Amino acid sequence: MNDFFQQTAQAEFQKASQQLPGAKQFQTALTQSFKRYDNLIAKTIAESPTKPACQAGCAFCCYYKVEVRAHEMLNIKDYLHKQLSAENIQQIIQEAEQNAVVIRSITPEQHLTTNLKCPLLHNNQCSVYPVRPYRCRNFHATDAKACEQSFADPANMDIATGMIETVALAADAHSQGFEAAIEQKGLDARIYDFNTALLEVLADESCLKRYLRGKKTFQTALEVS
Ligand code: SF4
């Protein structure tokens, strides 16, 4: 592990730990962590001679397999209830249910090579963009044509969409620093499948109680090992 990675992860771990005196502060701590992340990534991109090709309206990566942490999904639930109508949330649930049927019928490896539209993608825009999880934030590409090719041929794992090494390192280090703080506080740091966790958080009020008590948040969602 290089020095930059270690320093970035450690700095985020310390800041996040200070902002997490107890489980109830997890959403405030996550919001502050997202702000620090956005500043860090903007600075790292500005310093890089290579720039990401990502633009609003390009959403091929939103058909990839997505994973999420419990604190991120609980945050997304609150955002959905504040920002979207009951009708829109019902449409999201229907789409997530269709995805979940497919996801439960294939292996995790097959999921990696299967296009499934994220139920939160609407008109090629993320419905929860300000609170999208770290897994989505961390993804970027330098070759938009390769993203399109990968979308057209999802089983072809040889297509390289290109990443900027410094940006990828900063992104991974920061998100891992935050996740380490969550774990150190005794909170659920498991990784869950996005679609099945979304269905459970929208159906079961007890998810938040379990999270705040340091228990396993999701009981029916698929856990990613
Ligand atoms: S949460 Fe948003 S950014 Fe992530 S896959 Fe879904 S639509 Fe795309």
Report pLDDT for 225: 81
What is the Å distance from ligand 1's center to 121 Cα?
6
pTM over 0.85: yes
Report pLDDT for 1: 61
Which residues form the pocket of ligand 1, taking CB atoms under 6 Å from any ligand atom? 62, 66, 118, 120-121, 126, 128, 132, 136
List of long-range contacts for 117-123, beta carbons under 8 Å, 24+ apart: 117/62, 117/63, 118/62, 118/63, 118/66, 118/194, 119/92, 119/93, 119/95, 119/195, 119/198, 120/76, 120/92, 120/198, 121/59, 121/62
What is the Å distance from ligand 1's center to 43 Cα?
23
| pLDDT tens digits for range 113-133 | 999 999 999 999 999 999 999
Report pLDDT for 2: 87
Q: Whose CA is nearest to atom 8 of ligand 1?
A: 62
What is the Å distance from ligand 1's center to 214 Cα?
26
pLDDT in tens, the chain (225 residues): 689 999 999 999 999 999 999 999 999 999 999 999 999 999 999 999 999 999 999 999 999 999 999 999 999 999 999 999 999 999 999 999 999 999 999 999 999 999 999 999 999 999 999 999 999 999 999 999 999 999 999 999 999 999 999 999 999 999 999 999 999 999 999 999 999 999 999 999 999 999 999 999 999 999 998
C-beta of residue 192 within 8 angstroms of C-beta of residue 76: no
